[in-house]
C-alpha cells in the first residue's frame, strides 16, 4: 500500500539521522495499519465514494507516530496530500495544490482564534470546485504554532467546527475534551461537505483502529464482533 502519509513517513525516516522509536514499539507492527501484526486490520479498510480532498500539514515526527490518525484519512480519502510543516520553508508542491483551480481550500481551525471575517461554519464550494480541507495534524500547542507561522494560509477561509460530542479518541488525550483528533475533524468536514457516508465510515474506521491499538497494547483478545467492528463492516 502507498498513500500520502505512508510516503511522507518514508521520506522522514530516510532523512532521519537516528532511528525513530515509538512508545510501546517492542512488538513488530504491520507497515500498513501500524498495529501489532496479530491485530492487523488492513482487511477492514473501508471503500466509499468521496468527493472532497484533504491536505494534511504534519508537524515534525507526526507521520512516524503509530497513534497518528491523519493516516486513517489518507487510507479512506483518495485525494489526500501530506506535507511536513516547516516554519522557514514551504513545499512548492503544496503551494501549487492550494492554487489548483479545481479545489476550494478551507483551513480547519477553531474560530475563537481567528478574525471573525475569516470564519465560516459551512462548506459552500463554488460551482465546478471541490472542497479541500487543510488539516493541521499536530498536538494542540503545535497546531496553534503552525497556524500563527504559516502566512501562506492567511488567504483562505477558516472552517470552524463546533461539534457537540466530546472526543472519542483515547490514544492521546488533549487537556481540553472538546479538542478532537485529526480523523474526527476529518469526518466532520466530510459530513459538512455532503460526503456523509465517508464521514461515517471514517468514524467507524477510527473506532476499530483505536480498539485494536489498545487491545494490542493491553494484550487483550481480538473481538471482531465488537460494536466497533460491526459498525465498520457496513462500509466494507
Cell readout for 66 is: 503509530
Residue that the C-alpha cell 460491526 belongs to: 230
Using the CB atoms, write b or e for 43-57: b if 16+ within 10 Å: ebbbebebebbbbbb
Return the number of other C-beta atoms located less than 10 Å from residue 145's C-beta: 16
Q: Closest Cα to residue 78, out of 50, 108, 41?
A: 50
Residue that the C-alpha cell 504491520 belongs to: 30
Cell readout for 165 is: 460530542
At 46-94, the pLDDT tens digits run 999 999 999 999 998 899 999 999 999 999 999 999 999 999 999 999 9
Residue of higher predicted confidence among 221 and 174: 221
Quick one: what percent of the chain has pLDDT higher than 70? 90
pTM: 0.92
At 131-176, the pLDDT tens digits run 999 999 999 999 999 999 999 999 999 999 876 655 776 775 555 5
- Contacts (Cβ under 8 Å, ≥6 apart) of 107: 134, 147, 153, 156, 157, 158, 159
The mean pLDDT of the chain is 91
Confidence of residue 39 (pLDDT cuts 50, 70, 90): very high
Say how far apart CA 61 and CA 13 lie, in whole Å: 9
Distances from the Cα of 39 to the Cα of 32, 33, 64, 176, 222, angstroms: 12, 9, 19, 30, 7
Say how far apart CA 214 and CA 186 lie, in whole Å: 22
- 51: alpha, beta or left? (left if phi > 0; alpha if psi -120 to 50): alpha
pLDDT of residue 170: 73
Q: What phi and psi, each to the nearest 5 degrees, are found at residue 57?
A: -100, 110
pLDDT of residue 15: 80
pLDDT of residue 93: 98
CB 176 within 8 A of CB 97: no
Question: Is the confidence at residue 214, as pLDDT, over 90?
Answer: yes
What mean pLDDT comes out for the span 213-218?
94
CB 201 within 8 A of CB 235: yes
pLDDT of residue 25: 55
12-26, 30-44, 48-62, 148-162: which range is least confident on average?
12-26
Q: Closest Cα to residue 148, out of 103, 119, 109?
A: 109
Amino acid at each position: 500500500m502507498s498513500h500520502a502519509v505512508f510516503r511522507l513517513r518514508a521520506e522522514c525516516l530516510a532523512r532521519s539521522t537516528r532511528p525513530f522509536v515509538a512508545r510501546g514499539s517492542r512488538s513488530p507492527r504491520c507497515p500498513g495499519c501500524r498495529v501489532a501484526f496479530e491485530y492487523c486490520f488492513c482487511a477492514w479498510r473501508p471503500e466509499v465514494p468521496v468527493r472532497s480532498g484533504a491536505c494534511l500539514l504534519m508537524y515534525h515526527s507526526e507521520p512516524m507516530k503509530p497513534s497518528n490518525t491523519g493516516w486513517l484519512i489518507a487510507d479512506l480519502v483518495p485525494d489526500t496530500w501530506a506535507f511536513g510543516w516547516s516554519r522557514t520553508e514551504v513545499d512548492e508542491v503544496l503551494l501549487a495544490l492550494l492554487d489548483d483551480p479545481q479545489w476550494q481550500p478551507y483551513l480547519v481551525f477553531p474560530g475563537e482564534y481567528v478574525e471573525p471575517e475569516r470564519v465560516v461554519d459551512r462548506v459552500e464550494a463554488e460551482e465546478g470546485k471541490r472542497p479541500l480541507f487543510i488539516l493541521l495534524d499536530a498536538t494542540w500547542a503545535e497546531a496553534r504554532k503552525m497556524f500563527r507561522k504559516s502566512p501562506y494560509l492567511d488567504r483562505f477561509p477558516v472552517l470552524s467546527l463546533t461539534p457537540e460530542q466530546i472526543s472519542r479518541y483515547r490514544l492521546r488525550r488533549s487537556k481540553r475534551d472538546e479538542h478532537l483528533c485529526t480523523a474526527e475533524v476529518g469526518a466532520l468536514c466530510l459530513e459538512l461537505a455532503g460526503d456523509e457516508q465517508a464521514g461515517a465510515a471514517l468514524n467507524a474506521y477510527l473506532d476499530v483502529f483505536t480498539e485494536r491499538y489498545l487491545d494490542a497494547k493491553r494484550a487483550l483478545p481480538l473481538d471482531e464482533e465488537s460494536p466497533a467492528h460491526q459498525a465498520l463492516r457496513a462500509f466494507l
